[in-house]
Structure 1
Amino acid sequence: MSELAAGAAPPGPTPVVDIHTHAMPVPFLRELAREGLADLSGIAANVLTLDPALCGLPRGAPIPLAPEQYDLERRLAQLDTAGVDHHVVAAPPFLFASESDDERLVLDVTRRSNDALAAFVADSGGRLTGLATVPVGLPGAAAELARCLDQLGLVGATMGTFGGRRELDHPVNEDLWAALAERRCFTLLHPSRVSARDRLADYHLVQLLGYPVETALAASRLIFGGVLDRHDLTLCLAHGGGCAPAVGARLDLGWHRKPVARVVDRAPSDYLRRLLYDTAVFDSKTLGRLVEDVTARHVLLGTDTPFDLVDHHPLETVRRIGLTAAEETAILGGNAAELLPGLGLSPTPAAADVPDRQTLASLTAVPSPPAEGRHT
């Protein structure tokens, strides 16, 4: 007898879900403007400026503000144009106040940002759902996560790569990691600052280069700091992990040959293969290598919509790789349906054909490199 109940309709195609998108609701921006923390005078030209304490950019630095960031009708039309059924929406890192040392400001702005995002997605007819911004580095992060999930109806979390003048592996974040793990909460890790900002000041290098490097730095601290050993996280690295996938072998070499780096039980690349990644690498060949390295089970559609550094044809980017039907379905929506049950989507049965995390370790095991020799 069929697994379907008698008379039940067969499952339809899995909806296409973009898990890396952003929104900045205008009511919240107007609140910030009244407090002198934002300037909306350039909104007609699709530009916003924010106080450096919030955005981490030099004073007056223009931030793109496409109408789809706040105009719901245009946002839904954008989904249709891209062939996407559902957006998982997060505040952008410019609202994280990652480098501020004013704890009260960070917690207040984060809370109001989450309230505004929840109201924005609530009017979307079910096509948008929100991620809670959690203020890493601050003692109130776990409490804000609980409020957003339990009271606001947000379906997961997003966080920056730094906060409260502390790195992600700082002990202050242990309560947050524990809460995320206990709830099996999908979390989008988004770069929110850069090191050596003066060297990245030209050519838009803060975001073009600084952000990918920052993601690799954050992932490395989570690995070597033991966070991924202590907590089973559902953690997705934005922008395809930035530089992290490319430096896995070098991190492994250091783990084997440098005693100071031999502080975790497994090679760093093993941890990297257990994380999740979005598809926002903007090139099918690069995406194909990522899928080959971590398997389709660990990759989710993500575009960075509606910023200007966006993949306008995400389905085409994925379909050019030449994946199996099960792999393609998993990336385009099946993984999201499984990892974000709050979306209310049913994972496709085909997703079962894609190896899961437990199987992954045996599928991707690699021999240890020799201990002799030098690498610089």
Structure 2
Amino acid sequence: MRVDFHTHIIPEEIPNFADKFGGGRWPVLEKTCSCGANIMVEGKVFREVTDQVWSPEKRIQDMDAEGVDIQVLSPIPVTFSYWAKADEAEEMSKVQNDFIADTVKQYPERFIGLGTVPLQDVNVSIKEMDRCIHVLGLKGIEIGTNINGKNLDDPEFITFFEMAEKWEVPLFIHPWETLGRERMPRHNFMYTVGMPSETALAAASLINSGIMEKFPRLKVCFAHGGGSFPYILPRLDRGWHVWPDLRLTSKPPSHYAKNFYFDSLNYDPLNIKYLVDRFGYEKIVMGSDYPFLLREIPPGKVVDETIKLTDKQKHSILGQNALDFLNVTIKEEIK
């Protein structure tokens, strides 16, 4: 079984919140043809997309062609809208969460859904997380690596993580609004350099702040193989040892990093082997970033090409680990 943990979706008929609430930062889907559209932000093309990004039928065609049994659907990070008023962002979240839940209900053997919540207001976020999990039947929540420039270790988010652990809600952490983006206008460095660095900062924040020590049963998975985090972990450990006055945890960062999950989207078998050696094969989930340009085609290619993995390890990474992370039990015979 192949489960693509990292895919993105948006409703074809998403409301125009820019018209409804005002402000140019709302993402607006402008159709260019029956099978294509532009995601517009502040009057500019943020991303060109095809019907792959909204059509479950098109997605299933691609899944069948590429050997994927199940996709895990999550919102596109530009729709997080953390900058907006909480009640307006809550409406944006509900539109997407309802759409993802409906898509899963329509094709329950092919899709699993993750929701989104307006983290600029933790109380509203907890309420929507409750609805996502306990009413809509979604299996986790996707959140950004920062909320309006606040790292995930900001004290105001503690209650959110507490409830995610209490309700056993898996969290998928995806980079957005990357650090240093003002220095990355050329070469699309925001995607290739900024996002991996942003992800590392988010992971380090959760560890060094003591959040992962405080909530040891919290399930967290990082996009893009954890970005640069796995490779700077020894440096984080060194900092913990040489600056004891800054310690907020009883053990070095590498101890808590063993609880993290990472998707496999790092393109290189050497990197997959490194993740497996450092964190264990049980903590790696296959993810492609479907349907965007940087995605892996076919999904799981890098895992297939990592020749030092055993058949059992590949089987787990390609599917079972994602199901375990999401607390989902599915029989192998899907098709």
Which residue identity does 1:110 align to in structure 2?
Answer: S
User: After superposition, what is the alpha-carbon deviation per residue over 1:63-99, rounded to whole angstroms, capped at 9, x for unaligned?
Assistant: 132211112211001111221100010001010113x
Corresponding position: 1:116 with 2:99 = yes
Counterpart-to-counterpart distance in 2, 1:64 and 1:288: 34
User: After superposition, what is the alpha-carbon deviation per residue over 1:194-231, rounded to whole angstroms, capped at 9, x for unaligned?
Assistant: 12221011111111111111000011111111110111
User: After superposition, what is the alpha-carbon deviation per residue over 1:162-201, rounded to whole angstroms, capped at 9, x for unaligned?
Assistant: 1255321122212211121122222111012112221011
Counterpart-to-counterpart distance in 1, 2:315 and 2:29: 42
Which residue identity does 1:333 align to in structure 2?
Answer: G
Counterpart position of 1:135: 118
Counterpart position of 2:109: 126
TM-score, normalised by the number of residues in structure 1: 0.81
Corresponding position: 1:84 with 2:74 = no
**Is contact 1:224-1:261 (8 Å) kept?**
no
Q: How does 1:40-119 map to 2 (within 5 A)?
A: 40-42=30-32, 46-51=36-41, 59-98=43-82, 100-119=83-102
Counterpart position of 1:162: 146
Which residue identity does 2:88 align to in structure 1?
Answer: L
Corresponding position: 1:311 with 2:301 = no
SS of equivalent residue, structure 2 residue 265: coil
Shift of 1:345: 1.1
Q: How does 1:1-376 map to 2 (within 5 A)?
A: 15-28=1-14, 30-32=15-17, 35=20, 37=26, 38-42=28-32, 46-51=36-41, 59-98=43-82, 100-139=83-122, 140-231=124-215, 232-322=217-307, 323-342=309-328, 344-346=329-331
Shift of 1:47: 4.3
Number of residues of Structure 1 aligned to a counterpart in Structure 2: 325
Shift of 1:39: 4.7
Shift of 1:45: 8.0
SS of equivalent residue, structure 1 residue 89: strand
Q: Which consecutive unaligned segments of at least 5 residues does structure 1 have?
A: 1-14, 53-58, 349-376
Which residue identity does 2:235 align to in structure 1?
Answer: R
User: After superposition, what is the alpha-carbon deviation per residue over 1:256-276, rounded to whole angstroms, capped at 9, x for unaligned?
Assistant: 112343221111122222210
Counterpart-to-counterpart distance in 2, 1:117 and 1:43: 23
Which residue identity does 1:188 align to in structure 2?
Answer: F
User: After superposition, what is the alpha-carbon deviation per residue over 1:231-278, rounded to whole angstroms, capped at 9, x for unaligned?
Assistant: 121100100000100100111111111234322111112222221000
Shift of 1:125: 4.3
Change (3 A) 1:45 1:260: farther
Q: Which consecutive unaligned segments of at least 5 residues does structure 2 have?
A: none
Shift of 1:44: 5.9
Shift of 1:46: 3.8
Give the root-mean-square deviation of aligned CA atoms. Answer: 2.1
Percent identical among aligned pairs is 28
Counterpart-to-counterpart distance in 2, 1:50 and 1:294: 39
Counterpart-to-counterpart distance in 2, 1:123 and 1:146: 22
**Is contact 1:101-1:165 (8 Å) kept?**
no
Shift of 1:154: 0.8
Counterpart-to-counterpart distance in 2, 1:144 and 1:225: 25
TM-score, normalised by the number of residues in structure 2: 0.90
Counterpart-to-counterpart distance in 2, 1:43 and 1:213: 36
Change (3 A) 1:128 1:107: same
Which residue identity does 1:167 align to in structure 2?
Answer: N
Counterpart-to-counterpart distance in 2, 1:112 and 1:164: 22
**Is contact 2:287-2:300 (8 Å) kept?**
no
Which residue identity does 1:291 align to in structure 2?
Answer: V
Specify the structure having the higher radius of gyration (Cα): 1
**Is contact 2:219-2:259 (8 Å) kept?**
no
**Is contact 2:39-2:49 (8 Å) kept?**
no
SS of equivalent residue, structure 2 residue 171: strand
